[in-house]
Structure 1
Amino acid sequence: MLIQIDALWSQVIGIGILGIFLVMVLATISSTLPALFPTAVRYSGFAIGYNISTAVFGGTSGMVNEWLIDATGNVLVPGFYLMVAGVLGLVSVLTFKETAGRSLRGNVIPGSDDHLRIANGETLIGKPNKP
């Protein structure tokens, strides 16, 4: 809505707010997503997954939003679209396995052997340490 106002200050603030949210996403992608894969497939798994999902969902979002605006007559639909995407992202973040303090080396998915580490008496970050 700020970007639609015909004043430079409001457009700069609107773009700035979007930029801040983009920085928050990009700052965490490079550390979080590679930790989801075992070492042998880490970079290819991250690259293929990230690039295909960005092309499919990011590439079609403009078309989908334009269609939704035409179908509903509501110019605020892109905001609702972003809210739905944010909720989906929140659900996925809440289901991530914590990998802080775990080795990212080897052929297992980081965090998948937590029960064995806890049974061996290791203290893990982000996990209750009960066998």
Structure 2
Amino acid sequence: MNVVDDFSREMVGQFVSISISGRQVAGFLSQLIELRGKPKKVICDNGTEFTSTAMIFWSKETGVELGFSGGITIQPGKPTQNAFVESLNGKFRNECLNQHWFRTLDEARCEIDLWREHYNNVRPHSSLNFLPPVEYAKRAA
């Protein structure tokens, strides 16, 4: 699961597991809040891990609103309703997941962390005046 800051395009976290439940998503998002602060809203697709009771309770407990692609639920089979994240997920799949055979989750986490560091600190984005996300966020602060 990729967590991205919409403003800076920085990938603030990736949760790596074989199967992800709503309870795990809620726990991971709580960890990210401890590290980065609390956002007003988290936008996600309508997967069961995001629409679960655990996520509804997490939203109420934290005061973080759950949104579904700009306020609308992403319709099944309509990934263009969340185009940036779908594009990012495609790059991640092609440049990281499809390039490696992972024998363990720890090995996967290591390679995925390396990819995220490169994405955040080295890779320029045209939508960010050709700056990497971390540099863009620093200049905007």
TM-score by length of 2: 0.30
Q: Which has the higher helix share?
A: 1
Structure with greater strand percent: 2
Q: TM-score, normalised by structure 1?
A: 0.32
